[in-house]
Amino acid sequence: YQDAAAQAGRRHLSRVLPGLSEFARQRYLTESHAVDFERALALGFQHRDNPRASIFSAGWLLNGKAAGGEALAEAALLAAPEAAPFVYELRSVRDQISALSVQAGSTVNQDIREKLAALESQQQRLQQKISSLGLGHQRSDPWLTTGELLSRIPVDAVMINIARFRPCRFEANDDNRWQDARYVAWIIPPVGFGEVRIVDLGDAAAMDELVATLRQRMLSDYFRIRSEGETVVEAEFRASAAELSRRLFAPLENALGDAQELIISPDGALWTLPWDALVLSDGRYLTEKFRTRYVLSGRELIYPAHDRSLITSPVVFAAPEYGKPRRTDTNTSDSAQLRSIKDAVFPPLQASAAEAAEIKPSLEELSGESVRILLGEDASETAFKALHRPRVLVLSTHGYFDDATKEDSPTALQRNPLQRCGLALAGANERDSSAASASGNDGILTGLEIIGTDLRGTELVVLSACETGLGSIQVGEGVVGLRHSFQLAGVQSVLSSLWQVDDTETARLMAEIFRNLAGGARKSQAVHEAQLSRIEARRKRNGAAHPFFWAAFTLTGSN
């Protein structure tokens, strides 16, 4: 019965959700889908020792996770050809919403409120019109089976699909039937390599606290290394990481078999965790034993690839000319400053142009085509919006996620995290100028604008910028931010960062990754080998290799 209900719910969601307004979509997801999804996972967890229940519930997780983001992608990108005029109009409206959101920051007056309300209404009307004309490239049946997923797991890999939910005592008919939230992992092996297993990872709140503590240590350690030395600080980090590893990873190890690659679909705060920096029981970092990559739900492993006949040559945006700062007393070298876009000032990235020059030969060897490098004023928002499915896209610039929105902000600013994340391009420091207002291109490329760009079939986007992997954590949906935006735009895989890394260290890592790709390595292998190389280099030079310098970048998507 539950399996039939889950399938019916998924088909209804796929048919109805893309055409709803954002408000109606969020209401449906929180009041209907989330309730049914949690109940299904709780049922699977209760019967986790039953192999048949494990297979069924793995399918419920596969089909229910990140459903809201996929619906947004369908509505934004996969419209039928006859909807093109409405798609272009929707893109213009979203540009205006993004510009107003950036201009407003966290203080919004009545005039901006009214403009945003009118634009939101126009956006909802256009979304419904596009949906009524039909969407492109949907399967006739959106339900995907656990068997399909198993068949797509490489023989040397295993998938770890994690959900954060409340277990339920279904036999109880009282207010206490729902228990405190826990993290639970479904271990999905390749076909013929064992059964699906369900592993309890423990109390979610306690795990979230450990993750937050480790992230805070990671960031503070950078400054401590300068005064205390990398050897001492790394040893203390290892002790902290080992505790989290015992709670999170040790319960999984027995179910991993001989896997060499982990395909991880986290949930909640686990999206913000540098898994490669976990410490195993033998003292090695996780990356010294496993390759890792991340997926939003697992469905992207099954979906067919986009038509590659329209793919164009690689493009690199680097060293944008941000323009004259509006304020000279603001120092954005501290990543915390980039958490509020209204007053942010973007300083030049000293190693950005050199990074572009260094990766160009490898990119050309990889693609067999010339690479277009856009520097200075050419690295603009206008140039980005004109892109059409580049094979590889590299953006070496500042990124941000604005979490400073106040309670009195409009609903649109609170609800949609894609309006509160972005990349700084040419002119970003002059975004309030009359020229920027007139052109509609203010140098701030928001997540909402990214999903309106045609990147379907782009094989890899590299976000060589600070904290491009962060965003708004939405349980069951992943971290909705820049990384999510590019995947919603149709990109196969995204390499992004969890914290701000020195641009010189980033340039070295990127150069190694692209050399590995040009040499024939798959994406996860290219990142993995570059990490190992940076670890070895730092140990030879400093006697230690703190993960701050090599674990920030994560690969999400296909291989």
Residue 327, SS3?
coil
Exposure class string for 439-448: b at 16+ Cβ within 10 A, else e: eebbbbbbbb
The alpha-helical segments, DSSP class H, found in 292-371 are 352-367
Q: What is the pLDDT of residue 80?
A: 47
Q: Which amino acid is at 459?
A: E
According to the model, what pLDDT value does residue 238 have?
93
DSSP 221: H
What pLDDT, on a 0 to 100 scale, did the predictor assign at position 405? Answer: 46
Q: In this predicted structure, what is the pLDDT of residue 435?
A: 58
pLDDT of residue 409: 46
How far apart are the C-alpha atoms of 203 and 182, rounded to whole Å?
A: 4
Please state the three-class secondary structure of 242-307 as a single string.
HHHHHHHCHHHHCCCCCCCEEEEECCHHHHHCCHHHCECCCCCEHHHCCEEEECCCCHHHCCCCCC
The pLDDT assigned to 434 comes to: 57
Considering only CA atoms, which of 551, 473, 541 is closest in space to residue 222? 551
pLDDT score for 436: 57
Residue 157 neighbours by CB under 8 Å, 6+ apart: 190, 259, 260, 261, 262, 263
Q: Are 249 and 262 in contact (CB under 8 A)?
A: no
0.85 exceeded by pTM: no
Residues of the chain with pLDDT under 70: 15, 18-19, 21-22, 69, 71-84, 104-108, 127-141, 306-307, 326-342, 403-417, 433-440, 465-480
Q: How far apart are the C-alpha atoms of 30 and 434, rounded to whole Å?
A: 41
451 and 491 in contact (C-beta within 8 Å)?
no
pLDDT at 515: 93
Token pair of 316 as six digits? 């690199």
